[in-house]
Structure 1
Amino acid sequence: MTATVEQSTGTATLVARLLEHAAARADEVAIREKYRGVWREWTWAGYAKRVAGVAAGLRSLGVVPGSRIAVHAENRPEWVIADLAAQGLGACTVGVYPTSPAAEVEYLLGHSEAEVLIAEDEEQLDKALAVRERLPLLRHIVVMDPRGLRFADLPGVLTFAELEERGAVPDAAERYAESVEALDPEATAILVYTSGTTGPPKGAMISHTNLVASGRAFVEVLGAARGDEVLSYLPLCHVAERLISVIDGIWAGLVVNFGEGGPSFSNDLRDVQPTVFLGVPRVWEKMLATVEIRMADASRLKRALYRACLRQGRRIAPRRMSGRTTFGDRLVLALCGLLVFRALRERLGMSRVRAPISGAAPIAPQVLEWLWAIGIPVREGYGQTENTAICTLNPVGDIRLGTVGVASPGVEVRIADDGEILTRSAGVFQGYLDNPTATAQTVDADGWLHTGDVGELDADGFLRITDRKKDIIITAGGKNISPSEIENLLKVSPFVREAVVIGDRRRFLTALIGIELDTVGNWASRRGLAYTTYADLSAKPDVQALIDGVVREANERLAQVEQIKKFTLIGKELDHEDGELTATQKVKRRAMEERFGPEIEAMYT
């Protein structure tokens, strides 16, 4: 293809955009990967060449337009390469969460009718092999990182390197370009399975047109462009990370960095210092908790400087949010940056960030206030799988805490009579795979997406989300309560990791609370309080008293009917494999009420 980046107005697919970048910016860096502690990189030309080669390899396995290709791996370049290779062939990519147990893998592969599975390593291969006999359509398994495994006795299993060898044919690039040119933009490009908080995951069908609409909208609201860098760290199965690493990464031509992940996340963040960064609330809350721990152990002088600068930052933050800082404000901020905040932001990996975003779940305004005070201008936004992650975002120069901003370009938002948020845009998905009933309940005849969230629009078009429609608590006294606002208030504390408010059809509200092991453990150690396990620490009377103080402080900010009357510290960290969390770390309320039924009943006796 000969189109340049500047001539992309009519580009109809992400994969066509990839080929534009490869032609116009062949030698510029597109991807970096941290491998065994060393960063290595691929240019746009190298990126496109690998995608075309993998596409040729998949074609040799019988992949054709309409085929479904599953990817079951942590974030790594091969993930997005396989994704774009499949899309370019007219096939459909299905992401499987790395934490998914074998039963969930079986459900997702069976429901999507995947023909090829690209698994990361022996762990994910074993899950697939355990259920393969019940998946008659699964013909091939490709292993990215075999680590010495031998596949001679495993028919239909090959390595990713072997797949690329099969695709190393002279005309791979030309054939890939031809298949990209022939794509129907309205065809399904990817399947994204929803979290499944209230039942089995549903496969959301997202078209090439949906992906391009999302890319166009976010590039406009973020101003993302060549030279910007992102860190890929959230699961690529989730639409939020797909948005950053694939949709925006390709559409805007960003440099996408793949770190070593897991425990190395904070180091990866410091290495990359991204300019565009999407953080889920848990990431921002963890930053706050980390700084609180450090300050508790710092010298008296450092603590005094931090507190003094934080007071100034908080004082000026509202004017920064509205774009109305004075010369005096800028002078004070420069001094605070020199003394404290510049080094702090660099330590957090936020020294270069110009477009930090919070999304995927509600975040407490108090956390955003702290971030703005130290110079990280986080903008909260809102989107979901079913609208390809485009809906609203707080605009630069008019940040309103407690809201998720105004409608993005090309998006309409309105509130239904029952308070549900409805959206309409080119990003609204095609429907749920093989589930016309759920599709009809979600997208009406006029194209409005019924989000399942409840909210309010103010006179200026700013959207405030109050809760999930299904999560609203109605007490025995008939009061409607939004549990997420109360839970976020509790999770502002660096000592609280999880909070689940209980009270539907009950006389009063209670809560199940999970402590943050790192911060509470540090707090206990500094007081000489010995403990062995998470359960042991949670059961300590001193820890109970610590969290009681957190609850009391939160209650002071709540109306009488919203206050937590009793709480129970749960004795385990919530886990996806145990069914308490979704793959995206959202709490499954129904599962929690079943799992901790006796503890809940004890709070009402």
Structure 2
Amino acid sequence: MTRPGGAATTGGASAARTIATRVRDRAWSTGDRVAMREKDLGVWQEITWKAYWDTVLTVGHALLALGVEPGDRVAIHAENCPEWLYADVATVAVRATTVGLYPTNPPAEVGYLLSHSEAKLLVAEDQEQVDKALAVIDECPALTRIVYIEPRGIRFHYDHPALLAWDDLLQLGAEHRAAYPSAVEDRMASATPDDIANLIYTSGTTGPPKGAMLSVANLNFAIETLVEQHGLASPPANANDLGLSYLPLCHIAERTFTIHQNAAAGVQVHFGESIATVQADLREVQPTLLFGVPRIWERILASVTIGLRNAGWIKRTNAAVWLKMANWIGDTLVRTGGRHTLSTRVVYAVGWLFLYRALRERIGMRRVRFASSGAAPIAPEVLKFFMGIGVPMYEIYGMTENAAVTTINRPRRIKLGTVGEPHTNVEVRIDEQTGEILTRHPAVFVGYFRDPEATAKAKDADGWLHTGDVGEWVGGTHIRITDRAKDIIITAGGKNISPSEIENALKASPFIKEAIVVGDRRPYVVALIGIELETVGDWAQRRGVAYTTYRDLTEKPEVLKLVQDIVNEVNVRFATAEQIKKFRMLPKELDHEDGELTATQKVKRSAIVKLFGDLVEDMYGSGR
């Protein structure tokens, strides 16, 4: 079955529009309005569109002075900050290609990404990122410059000819700008729809990361669909909207919510002081548009659980009553597709006075008009919680290879447990033989950089992108993803099992952080389980269970029983062949630097099974 949206156009004058031209045009038309805010030493500093574009121009001139040519790659290795946007937009302005690196990438991955992308210049945030780059620079012959933003620990202690301070970069740009004032604008004027604007590396769950090439035309279609139309919010995003940028900007979803919505719709972007201050920043900013990966929503729910359990008796009793009502509201919204009834409106209005307003204020979502979850599967129970307390929550679906444009749950047409309906002008079909989701539209990527074989596997001759996700139609309108094709478990008895459904059911508990279901070609299904340290630690302390380390806590009989009870509750929802017969506790928190998680916090399933193979084999041996 195919869901077409009709033909889409990106040709004509609009095709050569880029992020750079959008920022420039906004600076020309609303130069004194605030484009972004950055928190520095506890104070939010405002940056206008005029100042934004002026800095972009200066950085663009510096890139020209350093010999950056059309098609060259410029890498950025930093936490979210204004400099990330300056460097990104300036790179596109001079018709080069931006390559984003995750702040948590270890040196080996940094070396691979810089070498494979053949990056000519790297913008690094601080000493930590500079150290990583210098450790691998000999493996990266194309890399000629490392520009560092934060000079502490670098300026007077490092002596390497490739290093250049951000302030010195700006000075170089100012000098070039004075000598050749129209050089950047001239380069921008020659931009074509086929220019590669972004090279975005996949998270690498099954091997080395692959660099997805997104062209100017790809991004134009994505911006038109997701931002300028009703793709991500209704009404569409506008200059009165507020956003908080906190997920890595090298991820396509955060680029959409931070860079694209900012440039195309004027959404005011806020950069907090660090990833550790996100919850405090949410409370201060109270954004109207908010995106999170499932781990973020799960963590917020866990913090709510802890906060209410530690509250006084009166507050706990009040919360218990109104959270029960929120569950009823959520159930009703699920049945109605997200449409309130008279009863839910009345109950919510009273609950707003007693709990919901204060709770939403505390978690930073009092003004959210569109919240979304994507990038990985999420338990429906988590979505229902936020819907019940009044947060307009929608699950969306896209991937790097199609600039995040596939499906969305729309207001008043929600089907919980699905990733929604195809966007306008987007074709989606399910392969009849394999059940794989295929999609086709103008934002489907050009291909993988330096990897024609992988490109041919991902995009066929007719332009269909093979997503690798297995799914099914729900009601003929919405898509339900059952799992990644490579993750489907076939037991020794021939039963096909989708592990993500079981894993999400487990992770819906505030006590479970990670769950990896195993059972391919095995007689029964087992699981490796990681606890949520904060919530389980709080639970243990309130019961007088003493512990010292994460591992010590996981070995406590009381904690094992807690997890066993959760497993038992989840098992009753599944058929006998899908039920977890045994589990083992992960002895440590999974980490990106240890190769257990991707930079987007996705579990590297094969790596986990290999690293903790003794635990897996124990469950299939004589262990309990």
Q: Which TM bucket (shorter chain)?
A: over 0.9
* SS state at 1:170 partner: helix
Q: What does residue 193 of structure 2 align with? A: 185
Counterparts of 2:517 and 2:57, CA distance in 1: 50
Correspondent of 1:391 among 397, 406, 409: 406
Q: What does residue 546 of structure 2 align with? A: 530
Distance apart, 1:131 and its partner CA:
1.2
Q: What does residue 414 of structure 1 align with? A: 429
Q: What does residue 604 of structure 2 align with? A: 588
* SS state at 1:450 partner: strand
Q: Which amino acid aligns with 1:97?
A: Y
Say whether the 8 Å CA contact 1:212–1:247 is kept in structure 2.
no
Is 2:420 the partner of 1:405? yes
Counterparts of 1:550 and 1:11, CA distance in 2: 54
* SS state at 2:119 partner: coil
Say whether the 8 Å CA contact 1:8–1:17 is kept in structure 2.
no
Correspondent of 1:97 among 102, 125, 128: 102
* SS state at 1:363 partner: coil
Counterparts of 1:80 and 1:65, CA distance in 2: 19
Counterpart mapping for 1:418-429 below 5 A: 418-429=434-445
Is 2:193 the partner of 1:210? no
Counterparts of 1:136 and 1:493, CA distance in 2: 48
Is 2:101 the partner of 1:86? no
Q: Which amino acid aligns with 1:508?
A: Y
Say whether the 8 Å CA contact 1:191–1:204 is kept in structure 2.
yes
Runs of at least 4 residues off by over 4 Å: 7-11, 318-321
Moved more, 305-314 or 471-480: 305-314
Is 2:47 the partner of 1:42? yes
Say whether the 8 Å CA contact 2:243–2:258 is kept in structure 1.
yes
Is 2:328 the partner of 1:315? yes
Q: What does residue 454 of structure 1 align with? A: 470
Distance apart, 1:316 and its partner CA:
2.7
Distance apart, 1:313 and its partner CA:
2.4
Moved more, 45-54 or 296-305: 296-305
* SS state at 1:145 partner: coil
Is 2:171 the partner of 1:158? no
Q: Alpha-carbon deviations, 1:246-278, whole Å to 9, x = none? A: 122211121111112222110111111111101
Q: Alpha-carbon deviations, 1:296-319, whole Å to 9, x = none? A: 122222222222222222223355
* SS state at 1:167 partner: helix
Q: Which amino acid aligns with 1:190?
A: N
Counterparts of 2:182 and 2:366, CA distance in 1: 42
Counterparts of 1:325 and 1:130, CA distance in 2: 57
Is 2:279 the partner of 1:250? no
Q: What does residue 3 of structure 1 align with? A: none
Q: Which amino acid aligns with 1:164?
A: L
Q: What does residue 272 of structure 1 align with? A: 285
* SS state at 1:396 partner: coil
Correspondent of 1:75 among 72, 77, 80: 80
Q: What does residue 196 of structure 1 align with? A: 204
Moved more, 294-303 or 158-167: 294-303
Is 2:31 the partner of 1:26? yes
Instruction: List runs of 5+ in structure 2 lacking aligned partners.
Output: 1-11
Residues 317, 9 of structure 1: CA spacing in aligned structure 2 closer, same or farther, 3 A cutoff? farther
Q: Which amino acid aligns with 2:533?
A: L
Moved more, 299-308 or 237-246: 299-308
Is 2:479 the partner of 1:471? no
Correspondent of 1:601 among 601, 604, 617: 617
Correspondent of 1:325 among 340, 348, 351: 340
Q: Alpha-carbon deviations, 1:131-161, whole Å to 9, x = none? A: 1122211111100101152367211211111
* SS state at 1:115 partner: strand
Correspondent of 1:380 among 390, 395, 415: 395
Counterparts of 1:389 and 1:307, CA distance in 2: 38
Residues 400, 173 of structure 1: CA spacing in aligned structure 2 closer, same or farther, 3 A cutoff? farther
Residues 197, 328 of structure 1: CA spacing in aligned structure 2 closer, same or farther, 3 A cutoff? closer
**Percent identity over paired residues:** 53
Counterparts of 2:153 and 2:494, CA distance in 1: 62
**Greater relative contact order (Cα < 8 A, sep 6+):** 2
Q: Alpha-carbon deviations, 1:439-498, whole Å to 9, x = none? A: 011001111000000000134320000000000000000000000000000000100000
Distance apart, 1:324 and its partner CA:
4.0
Residues 173, 493 of structure 1: CA spacing in aligned structure 2 closer, same or farther, 3 A cutoff? farther
Counterpart mapping for 1:6-21 below 5 A: 12-21=17-26
* SS state at 1:184 partner: coil
Q: Which amino acid aligns with 1:83?
A: D
Say whether the 8 Å CA contact 2:16–2:191 is kept in structure 1.
no
Q: What does residue 116 of structure 2 align with? A: 111
Q: Which amino acid aligns with 1:587?
A: V
Distance apart, 1:604 and its partner CA:
0.4
Correspondent of 1:350 among 365, 384, 397: 365
Q: Alpha-carbon deviations, 1:350-388, whole Å to 9, x = none? A: 011001011111110111111111111210010000000
Q: What does residue 572 of structure 2 align with? A: 556
Say whether the 8 Å CA contact 1:261–1:268 is kept in structure 2.
no
Correspondent of 1:260 among 261, 273, 297: 273
Counterparts of 1:36 and 1:511, CA distance in 2: 45
* SS state at 1:183 partner: coil
Residues 86, 171 of structure 1: CA spacing in aligned structure 2 closer, same or farther, 3 A cutoff? same
Q: Alpha-carbon deviations, 1:185-219, whole Å to 9, x = none? A: 21100100001111100000001111111111112
* SS state at 2:178 partner: coil
RMSD: 1.5
Residues 490, 323 of structure 1: CA spacing in aligned structure 2 closer, same or farther, 3 A cutoff? closer
Say whether the 8 Å CA contact 1:121–1:146 is kept in structure 2.
yes
Is 2:559 the partner of 1:543? yes
Say whether the 8 Å CA contact 1:356–1:377 is kept in structure 2.
yes
Counterparts of 2:338 and 2:490, CA distance in 1: 40
Q: Which amino acid aligns with 2:451?
A: N
Moved more, 11-20 or 557-566: 11-20
Counterpart mapping for 1:143-154 below 5 A: 143-150=148-155, 153-154=159-160
Correspondent of 1:361 among 355, 376, 384: 376
Q: What does residue 565 of structure 1 align with? A: 581
* SS state at 2:255 partner: helix
Q: Alpha-carbon deviations, 1:394-453, whole Å to 9, x = none? A: 011111100010001221100012100000111100000011111011001111000000
Counterparts of 1:549 and 1:264, CA distance in 2: 34
Residues 11, 434 of structure 1: CA spacing in aligned structure 2 closer, same or farther, 3 A cutoff? closer
Counterparts of 2:119 and 2:13, CA distance in 1: 32
Counterparts of 2:259 and 2:164, CA distance in 1: 26
Q: Alpha-carbon deviations, 1:523-565, whole Å to 9, x = none? A: 1111111111111111111111111111111111111111100
Counterparts of 2:430 and 2:338, CA distance in 1: 29
Q: What does residue 299 of structure 2 align with? A: 286
Counterparts of 1:313 and 1:403, CA distance in 2: 21
Counterparts of 2:80 and 2:115, CA distance in 1: 23
* SS state at 1:137 partner: coil
